[in-house]
Chains A and B, each alone.
Chain A
Amino acid sequence: MKVRFWGVRGSIPAPGPETNRYGGNTSCVSITTATGGLVIIDMGTGLMHLGATLMASAFGKGAGRAAILLSHTHWDHIQGLGFFPPVFVPGNEITLWGPGGSDHVLEGILEGQMDPNFSPLQTLKNFSASFEIRAVQVGVPFEVQGLTVTARLHPHGGTSALAFRLEEAGRVFVYASDVGYADGVPDAESIAFYRGADVLLHDTTYKPEDQATRRNRGFSAYDEACAAARAAGVGRLVTFHYDQDYTDDDVDGIVASCRALLAGTAIEVVPAREGDELAI
């Protein structure tokens, strides 16, 4: 698996020189499989830039195939969809897997984004590509693009978000963004879900001092992410979903703090940065 970061920011895109190094686009990660399959996780504004790149490949000719895994439907995880050029090329086939419990409910939520009041597209039916929407069955492994995927429902403030565990030939990548543990302590079931991952991408929205006043928002502080990584014995921890008000220097601080907290363990800390690629 090759993991690439297209958007690493939480809540709302944060343009400006102060976010140039890590990037200001909202959540979007791509995974290229060993056999060249494409899996995309989340559809923040980073998706537009991934889509522009894909147009130079089979997606530009209407022969592209991709799966999208959607953690939840908050704006910062879906707002790139209408700007993803491959959906406007007939012949492309995209299958989206997400929350909601039923295909119909999930489709209704995604349709809401295209409502004529808000979008000139008016409806998902105006996509020219095949765009299939399927609700994930939590805990039941399924196959996408040759990967085995398992989803788990995490607490996320007043709602929940899906975490995904992707496996290919014994290698494991876990995506766990937008998770806020009760009392800030990663629970045993979450740890079991992360266990043995080669790479754990984990929500590190906040510094602990900001988390103290914002716990109800349903995000993690970096120390909670480190605790999860340590308890689960993962190989690498990827920091992700930085608060929109954090500058590059703030994120440098988060990364340095994670490295300090995990010093003496075998866990490597890798910051998610737009454009970076990680081989697993």
Chain B
Amino acid sequence: MVIRFWGVRGSIPVPGRATNRYGGNTSCVEVRPKGEPPIIIDAGTGIRKLGKLLLEESFGDGRGKASILISHTHWDHVQGLPFFSPLYRAGNEVHVFARERDVHLEAVFSQQHDAPYFPVPLSAMHATMQFHGVSEGASFDIGRAKVTSARLNHPSVAIAYRVDADGASVVYCSDTAPFSDMILAHEFVERPPSGILPLALLEELAEMRAGVVALAKNADLLIYDTQFTPEEYKKQPHWGHSRPDDAIEIAMAAGAKRLCLYHHAPMRSDDANDAILAGTRAAAQAAGARFEVMSAYEGLEVTVGDA
């Protein structure tokens, strides 16, 4: 199974010289089980270039099949979808998986294509599109790959995915706050909470953390939201993102074999990302971690298991 990174940035795309090495596109990762169609996780702006490349495969003559797993529908995870070229070819089949909610998923994705915002309605896409609701914790198969999910701690709720294929596993865990200070769900939180969390919420957080640790158990590659530095987290714990130390802690608890820092803050320069990677490697070593630490950049390719 090969994993390729097409967009590694959080919040908003950031073109410019300061992001040339890590890349400025928003979240998109391609997972390729051996000999199988692509399983794409998230559809940030990175999916545009992936789509163009897919046209050189069977998608070019309308015989392609792809699955897209959406962690959540915040803009930086869906804004590339209208620019995904395979959707404009008849015959292609695209399955979109996202967290089930009280509105039909197709209606949610249609909104992005509404006339005030985009010239081409979702209904005019030539490819066959199917939308699949995923309940938190659900498991399902895509071809030979087994997909499992777990709930994350993020405004409006995000879900993590694990893909098992070719005797190996990759876990995509973005976007999430640590499972310690507050629970983020559907209410708008204007400022960080003060005071001590009620016991019931602490128990709910512990349960959420246990679900994520179980999902990442012995993962060959754990991709984890590390948007914040500790100082940034202190100011914005209610934004729903983690620090490198949170990723190390979960990776150790799960016995993950490799940890990949992901969902870089938009204003984080390449040099700052280098420094965070070096600091995280040192912290992981000091903590006695036995896994390798890497930081996601556009074009990074990781092979796990058979390829």
**Is the C-beta of A16 less than 8 angstroms from some C-beta in chain B?**
yes
Which residues of chain A have C-beta atoms less than 8 A from B295's C-beta? none
The answer to whether B74 and A20 touch across the interface, beta carbons within 8 angstroms, is no
Residue of B nearest to A112 (CB): B111
The answer to whether B119 and A159 touch across the interface, beta carbons within 8 angstroms, is yes
The answer to whether B83 and A12 touch across the interface, beta carbons within 8 angstroms, is yes
Which positions in A face B, CB cutoff 8 Å? 9, 11-17, 19-20, 23-25, 45, 48, 52, 73-75, 78-80, 82-83, 100, 109, 112-113, 115-123, 126, 157-159, 217-218, 244, 274
The answer to whether B266 and A217 touch across the interface, beta carbons within 8 angstroms, is no
Q: How far is it, in angstroms, between the C-alpha of A279 and the C-alpha of B239 when the chains are bound? A: 40
Q: How far is it, in angstroms, between the C-alpha of A237 and the C-alpha of B78 when the chains are bound? A: 36
Residue of A nearest to B17 (CB): A20
Which residues of chain A have C-beta atoms less than 8 A from B116's C-beta? 73-74, 100, 109, 112
Which residues of chain A have C-beta atoms less than 8 A from B101's C-beta? 117
**Is the C-beta of B33 less than 8 angstroms from some C-beta in chain A?**
no
Which residues of chain B have C-beta atoms less than 8 A from A74's C-beta? 116-119
Residue of B nearest to A128 (CB): B190
The answer to whether B117 and A45 touch across the interface, beta carbons within 8 angstroms, is no
The answer to whether A118 and B15 touch across the interface, beta carbons within 8 angstroms, is no
Q: How far is it, in angstroms, between the C-alpha of A107 and the C-alpha of B190 when the chains are bound? A: 22
The answer to whether B111 and A79 touch across the interface, beta carbons within 8 angstroms, is no
- Output the least CB separation between B16 and chain A (Å): 7
Question: Which 10 pairs show the lowest CB-CB distances between chains A and B?
Answer: A24-B15, A15-B24, A15-B15, A13-B13, A120-B155, A109-B116, A73-B116, A122-B188, A17-B20, A117-B73
By secondary structure, the A interface counts as loop
**Is the C-beta of B75 less than 8 angstroms from some C-beta in chain A?**
yes
Q: How far is it, in angstroms, between the C-alpha of A109 and the C-alpha of B15 when the chains are bound? A: 26
Q: How far is it, in angstroms, between the C-alpha of A80 and the C-alpha of B13 when the chains are bound? A: 10
Which residues of chain A have C-beta atoms less than 8 A from B24's C-beta? 13, 15-16, 24
The answer to whether B119 and A15 touch across the interface, beta carbons within 8 angstroms, is no
The answer to whether B79 and A126 touch across the interface, beta carbons within 8 angstroms, is no
The answer to whether B12 and A83 touch across the interface, beta carbons within 8 angstroms, is yes
**Is the C-beta of B92 less than 8 angstroms from some C-beta in chain A?**
no
Chain B residue total in the interface (Cβ 8 A): 42
The answer to whether A15 and B12 touch across the interface, beta carbons within 8 angstroms, is no
**Is the C-beta of B282 less than 8 angstroms from some C-beta in chain A?**
no
**Is the C-beta of B240 less than 8 angstroms from some C-beta in chain A?**
yes
Q: Most chain-A CB neighbours within 10 Å: which of B11, B79, B117?
A: B117
Known: A112-B114, A126-B188; 7 extra A-B contacts, CB below 8 A, are A16-B20, A23-B15, A24-B13, A100-B116, A115-B111, A118-B78, A157-B119
Given contacts A12-B83, A48-B12, A74-B118, contact A120 B239 (CB under 8 A): yes
Q: How far is it, in angstroms, between the C-alpha of A24 and the C-alpha of B15 when the chains are bound? A: 5
The answer to whether B111 and A12 touch across the interface, beta carbons within 8 angstroms, is no
- Output the least CB separation between B294 and chain A (Å): 20
Residue of A nearest to B239 (CB): A120
Which residues of chain A have C-beta atoms less than 8 A from B78's C-beta? 118
Given contacts A79-B79, A157-B119, contact A117 B16 (CB under 8 A): no
**Is the C-beta of B19 less than 8 angstroms from some C-beta in chain A?**
yes
Q: Which of B13-29 contact A (CB under 8 A)?
A: 13-17, 19-20, 23-25
The answer to whether A15 and B13 touch across the interface, beta carbons within 8 angstroms, is yes
Q: How far is it, in angstroms, between the C-alpha of A270 and the C-alpha of B12 when the chains are bound? A: 28
29 A-B interface contacts by CB (under 8 A): A9-B15, A12-B80, A12-B83, A13-B13, A13-B24, A13-B45, A15-B23, A19-B15, A20-B17, A23-B16, A24-B13, A24-B15, A73-B117, A74-B116, A79-B12, A79-B79, A80-B12, A82-B75, A116-B188, A117-B101, A117-B103, A117-B108, A118-B112, A119-B75, A120-B74, A120-B155, A157-B119, A217-B119, A274-B16
The answer to whether A25 and B15 touch across the interface, beta carbons within 8 angstroms, is yes
**Is the C-beta of B156 less than 8 angstroms from some C-beta in chain A?**
yes
Q: Most chain-A CB neighbours within 10 Å: which of B13, B17, B83, B240?
A: B13
Residue interface bits B75-113, CB-to-A below 8 A is 1, else 0: 100111011000000000000000001010000100110
Given contacts A15-B25, A126-B188, contact A158 B12 (CB under 8 A): no
The answer to whether A118 and B74 touch across the interface, beta carbons within 8 angstroms, is yes
Q: How far is it, in angstroms, between the C-alpha of A15 and the C-alpha of B108 when the chains are bound? A: 27
- Output the least CB separation between B153 and chain A (Å): 13
- Output the least CB separation between B159 and chain A (Å): 14
- Output the least CB separation between A271 and chain B (Å): 16
Residue of B nearest to A110 (CB): B116
**Is the C-beta of B48 less than 8 angstroms from some C-beta in chain A?**
yes
Residue of A nearest to B98 (CB): A117
Given contacts A15-B25, A117-B156, contact A158 B119 (CB under 8 A): yes
The answer to whether B190 and A24 touch across the interface, beta carbons within 8 angstroms, is no
Partner of B115, one of A16, A78, A118, A159: A159
The answer to whether B119 and A118 touch across the interface, beta carbons within 8 angstroms, is no
Residue of A nearest to B23 (CB): A15
The answer to whether A79 and B16 touch across the interface, beta carbons within 8 angstroms, is no
The answer to whether B20 and A117 touch across the interface, beta carbons within 8 angstroms, is no
Q: How far is it, in angstroms, between the C-alpha of A217 and the C-alpha of B156 when the chains are bound? A: 34
Residue of B nearest to A75 (CB): B117
Q: How far is it, in angstroms, between the C-alpha of A45 and the C-alpha of B9 when the chains are bound? A: 14
Which residues of chain B have C-beta atoms less than 8 A from A115's C-beta? 111
**Is the C-beta of B234 less than 8 angstroms from some C-beta in chain A?**
no
